Structure 1
Amino acid sequence: MATRQDNTPDLYAVLGVDKKATPDEIKKAYRKLAREYHPDRNPGDTAAEERFKQVSAAHDILSDAEKRKEYDRARSFGGLGGAFSTGGAGFDFGDSGIGDILGSVFGGRGGSGQPRTRRPNVQRGRDLEAEVTLSFRQAMDGAQIPLSVRTTTTCTTCSGTGAKPGTSPTVCPRCQGRGVESQGQGLFSISQPCGRCHGSGTVIEDPCPTCGGEGAVHATKRYRVNVPPGVKEGSRVRLAGKGQAGRNGGPPGDLFVITHVRPSEVFERKGDDVEVTVPLSIAEAVRGADIEVPTLDGRKKLRVPPGTKHGTLQRLRGEGPPRLGGGGRGDIRYRFVIEVPEPSSDEQREAVDQLAGLFPAASRERLFKES
Structure 2
Amino acid sequence: MSKDYYKILEIERTADDKEIKRAYRKLAMKWHPDHNPGDAEAELKFKECSEAYEVLSDPQKRGIYDQYGEEGLRGQGYAGPNMGDIFSHFQDLFGGGFGGFGGFESIFGGGRAGGPVQGDHLRYDLEITLEEAVKGTSRDIVIERLETCDECQGTGAEAGSKRVQCQTCHGMGRVQMRQGMFAVQTTCPQCHGAGTKIEKPCTKCKGEGRVEKKRTVAVKIPAGVDDGSRLRLRGEGESGTQGAPSGDLYVCLAVKPHPSIKRDGLDLYTERHIHVAQAILGCEIEVETLDGKQKVSVEAGTQPGSQVRIKGAGVPKLGSNAKGDFIVVLLVDIPTKISDAERECIESFAKSQEVEFAPQKSIFQKIKEKFES
Fold shared by both chains (TM-score > 0.5): yes
Are 1:210 and 2:190 matched, yes or no?
no
C-alpha distance in 2, partners of 1:195/1:336? 70
Letter in 2 for 1:236: R
Query: Would you say the 8 A contact 2:113–2:173 is kept in 1?
Result: no
Asked whether the 8 Å contact 1:230–1:321 carries over to 2, the reply is yes
1:252 aligns with 2:226: no
| 1:240 lines up with 2:234 in the alignment | yes
**Equivalences for residues 1-371 of structure 1 within 5 A:** 121-170=115-164, 172-175=166-169, 179-183=173-177, 189-298=183-292, 300-326=294-320, 328-357=322-351, 358=353, 360=355
Offset of 1:350 from its aligned partner? 2.4
TM-score when normalising by structure 1 = 0.57
Q: What is the CA–CA distance in structure 2 between the aligned matches of 1:201 and 1:288, rounded to whole Å?
A: 84
Report the Cα offset of residue 285 of structure 1. Answer: 2.4
Q: Is there any run of 5+ residues in structure 1 with no aligned partner, and where?
A: 1-94, 97-117, 363-371
Report the 3-state secondary structure (helix = DSSP H, G, I; strand = E; otherwise coil) of the residue aligned with 2:156.
coil
Asked whether the 8 Å contact 2:116–2:243 carries over to 1, the reply is: yes
Cα deviation, residue 178, structure 1: 5.4
Question: 2: distance between equivalents of 1:166 and 1:301?
Answer: 75
Q: Deviations over 1:90-121 (max 9, x none)?
A: xxxxx99xxxxxxxxxxxxxxxxxxxxx9951
Q: Report percent identity of matched pairs.
A: 35
147-156 vs 196-205, greater mean Cα deviation: 196-205
Instruction: Determine the C-alpha separation between the residues in 1 that align with 2:296 and 2:263.
Output: 20
Higher helix share: 2
Deviations 1:9-68 (A, max 9, x none): xxxxxxxxxxxxxxxxxxxxxxxxxxxxxxxxxxxxxxxxxxxxxxxxxxxxxxxxxxxx
Q: In 2, Cα distance between the equivalents of 1:167 and 1:221?
A: 30
Aligned 8 A contact 2:169 2:175 in 1: yes
Distance 1:292 1:279 in 2: 11
1:221 positional shift:
0.7
Kept in 2: contact 1:243–1:254 (CA 8 A): yes
Tell me whether 256-265 or 167-176 shows the greater mean CA deviation.
167-176
Letter in 2 for 1:123: V
SS at match of 2:131: helix
**2:32 alignment counterpart:** none
Report the TM-score when normalising by structure 2. 0.56
Q: 1:120 to 1:199 in 2, by over 3 A?
A: closer
Tell me the SS of whatever aligns to 2:247.
coil
Check the 8 A contact 1:236/1:258 in 2, yes or no: yes
Distance in 2 (CA, whole Å) between partners of 1:305 and 1:249 is 68
Displacement after TM superposition at 1:339 (Å): 1.4
**3-state SS of paired residue (2:280):** helix
Aligned length: 247
| 1:306 shift after superposition | 4.1
The Cα shift of 1:233 comes to 3.4
**Closer, same or farther in 2 for the Cα pair 1:161/1:283, shift >3 Å?**
same
In structure 2, C-alpha distance between the alignment counterparts of 1:359 and 1:130, rounded to whole Å: 66
Question: For the structure 1 residues 200 and 316, does the alpha-carbon distance in structure 2 shift closer, same or farther, using more than 3 Å as the test?
Answer: farther
Q: Secondary structure at the match of 1:249?
A: coil
Alpha-carbon distance in 2 for matches of 1:258, 1:303: 39
- State the AA in 2 paired with 1:243: G
Residue identity in the other structure for 1:351: C
**In 1: Cα distance, 2:120 partner to 2:309 partner:** 45
CA contact (8 A) 1:343 1:349 kept: no
Unaligned ranges ≥5, structure 2: 1-83, 86-111, 358-373
What RMSD, in angstroms, separates the aligned Cα atoms of the two structures?
3.3
1:131–1:257 contact (8 Å) kept in structure 2: yes
Deviation of the 1:253 alpha carbon: 1.7
SS in 2 for 1:150: strand
Corresponding residue SS for 1:226: strand
Distance 1:170 1:293, change over 3 A: same
Contact 1:141 1:229 in 2 (8 A): yes
Looking at CA atoms only, which structure, 1 or 2, has the larger radius of gyration? 1
